[in-house]
Amino acid sequence: MILFAYDGSVHSDHAITVAGTLLGGGRARVVHAWDALGDVSAITLPGFMPHDDGEERAREVAEAGAALARLEGFEAEAEVVRCYGNPARALEEAARRLTPDLVVLGNRGLRGLQAVMRKSSVSRRLGAHVLAPVLIIPSAHLARR
């Protein structure tokens, strides 16, 4: 089974498309890490009913990724995992739980100061901490260089 770490970006879409070309399909789980801390809609005030708009949007993102994976020949299911801040830890836990044969994700291709300003790279962390092989697909704009 292939685990796609999916954030709804063009980089994630590109990773699924390239993986479809390289791997030709198979069983897949598209996992989207929903940042509950960064989602203003998840904040509730005393006296107000909590709502799950953010989680619902996260589910839509995961489903969109699974739909794309199915177009690329994968038998894909969507899953949302909740995280608080950096999604890498939640994706690591999903990889431990699902024991995939391969983890696939896109890379934004940040360099220099942009890379320094981002506190941690999800692709770098998954590559270092997940037991399964990790395939990092470079951003589409890097592939055109």
- Could you tell me the residue ranges of all domains in the chain? 2-32+56-80+87-143
Residue that wins the pLDDT comparison between 67 and 121:
67
How many Å apart are CA 107 and CA 85, to the nearest integer?
18
CATH H-level superfamily of 2-32+56-80+87-143 = HUPs (3.40.50.620)
pLDDT class for 80, splitting at 50, 70, 90? very high
**pLDDT digits over 86-134, tens only?**
899 999 999 999 999 999 999 876 544 444 444 458 888 787 778 899 9
Q: Give first-to-last CA distance, the chain, whole Å.
A: 32
Residue type, 71: L
Q: Give the per-residue pLDDT at 116.
A: 44
How many Å apart are CA 102 and CA 28, to the nearest integer?
9
**pLDDT digits over 4-58, tens only?**
999 999 999 999 999 999 999 999 999 999 987 765 554 555 555 445 578 899 9
How many Å apart are CA 17 and CA 105, to the nearest integer?
11
Q: Give the per-residue pLDDT at 35.
A: 85
Q: Give the per-residue pLDDT at 144.
A: 54
Question: HEC string of the chain?
Answer: CEEEECCCCHHHHHHHHHHHHHHCCEEEEEEEEEECCCCHHHCCCCCCCCCCHHHHHHHHHHHHHHHHHHHCCEEEEEEEEEECCCCHHHHHHHHHHHCCCEEEEECCCCCHHHHHHCCCCHHHHHHHHCCCCEEEECCHHHHCC
Q: Give the per-residue pLDDT at 133.
A: 94
Residue that wins the pLDDT comparison between 64 and 52:
64
* Highest mean predicted confidence (pLDDT) among 61-70, 104-113, 132-141: 61-70
How many Å apart are CA 49 and CA 23, to the nearest integer?
45
